[in-house]
Amino acid sequence: MTSPLATEAAPFGRVLTAMVTPFTADGELDLDAAQRVATHLVEAGNDGLAISGTTGESPTTTVQEDGRLLAAVVEAVGDRATVIAGVGTNDTRHSVELAEQARKAGAHGLLLVTPYYSKPPQSGIVAHVRQVSRAGEDLPIMFYDIPGRTAVQIEESTYAELVQDPLVLAVKDAVGDLERGAWLMRETGIKLYSGDDAMNFAWLTLGASGIVSVVSHVATRQYVDMVAAIDAGDLPTARGLNDRLLPVVRAIMTHTQGAITSKAALQLLGVLDHRTTRAPLPEATDDEVAIVRDALVSAGLLTN
């Protein structure tokens, strides 16, 4: 299924949110809330959503739940935004199953994190991506390089191999090495998406295609404006937006896990009724909620 907003320069859109997975108060998948969150995000300006990623608590959801969640989001916003399905696991057969399911559910693309914990060699990473690509058939792939979580970094020479597959279009980069990323864009043609909100401004100024953000749960409009300012060469405006969001980035990304704080933020904004997470993630404490609230207020995203 082709994305309604795909371009050669930004095949998955410009501003994407790594969306939380809402649960009911007793911990069950809440599809109505998921559609409400997806609609809220797209109406705020997101032109893409990443479903069932780490922020979506994918280690705690079943294959069936992933499929139901994806289908619900595609139904709600799939004609207005690129919907990419997180299918990354450390078991290639499991990822293949998720990719096949995502294709049938109407996803526009796949988000594929490097296999974690088992620390495969680079040849294993290449084989993993190729098998998942075959399973997804015509779905383009954004792979996710985040060695701080996976314990494995994709080597520069491996990128050259991966992009030989015409469906491997982009990387969500959470390595944080600006020189390396600029080199990879130049030498391999890979489209780079910032996967670390603290680096969004820097990556965009270096020519990144867009961002896959957690903070955009609450700051989509500001990131849309940042992208537009950088495209127009107006760096002072873009830098001002970045500065304004720094307290929010810290509150959501550094005090505890992003899924926890994002749900707290959405609850504060009235988008979610509660902030239930699944173990091993606890829901935000009152102190953590207060930190998020203060940051949103200071950035003008929430009134007292």
- For the stretch 223-252, pLDDT in tens is 999 999 999 999 999 999 999 999 999 999
Q: Quick check: 276 pLDDT over 70?
A: yes
pLDDT for the residue numbered 94: 98
Residue 22 confidence class, pLDDT cut points 50, 70, 90 = very high
Q: Which residue has the higher pLDDT, 96 or 7?
A: 96
Q: Quick check: 255 pLDDT over 90?
A: no
pLDDT for the residue numbered 150: 94
DSSP, residue by residue, the chain = ---TT--SS-BTBSEEEE----B-TTS-B-HHHHHHHHHHHHHHT-SEEEESSTTTTGGGS-HHHHHHHHHHHHHHHTTTSEEEEE---S-HHHHHHHHHHHHHHT-SEEEEEPP-SS---HHHHHHHHHHHHHHHTT--EEEEE-HHHHS----HHHHHHHTTSTTEEEEEE-S--HHHHHHHHHHH--EEEE--GGGHHHHHHTT--EEEESTHHHHHHHHHHHHHHHHTT-HHHHHHHHHHHHHHHHHHHTSS-HHHHHHHHHHHTTSSS-----TTSPPPPHHHHHHHHHHHHHTTSS--
Residue pLDDT, tens place only, 102-135: 999 999 999 999 999 999 999 999 999 999 999 9
- Cβ count near 93 (within 10 Å): 10
What percent of the chain shows pLDDT beyond 90? 95
Q: Quick check: 268 pLDDT over 90?
A: yes
pLDDT for the residue numbered 3: 74
Residue pLDDT, tens place only, 26-37: 999 999 999 999
Residue pLDDT, tens place only, 67-80: 999 999 999 999 99
* Annotated catalytic residue 117: no
pLDDT for the residue numbered 304: 72
Distance in angstroms (rounded) separating the CA atoms of residues 42 and 238 = 21
The amino acid that residue 9 corresponds to is A
pTM given for the model:
0.96
pLDDT for the residue numbered 1: 62
The amino acid that residue 264 corresponds to is A
Residue 57 confidence class, pLDDT cut points 50, 70, 90 = very high
pLDDT for the residue numbered 5: 74
Can you say how many angstroms the Cα of residue 282 is from the centroid of all Cα atoms in its chain?
21
Q: Which of 144, 159, 193, 223 is catalytic?
A: 144
- What average pLDDT does range 92-104 have in this prediction? 98
Residue pLDDT, tens place only, 203-220: 999 999 999 999 999 999
Residue 64 confidence class, pLDDT cut points 50, 70, 90 = very high
Q: Which of 159, 172, 191, 223 is catalytic?
A: 172
* Annotated catalytic residue 172: yes
pLDDT for the residue numbered 2: 66
pLDDT for the residue numbered 182: 98
Distance in angstroms (rounded) separating the CA atoms of residues 215 and 219 = 6
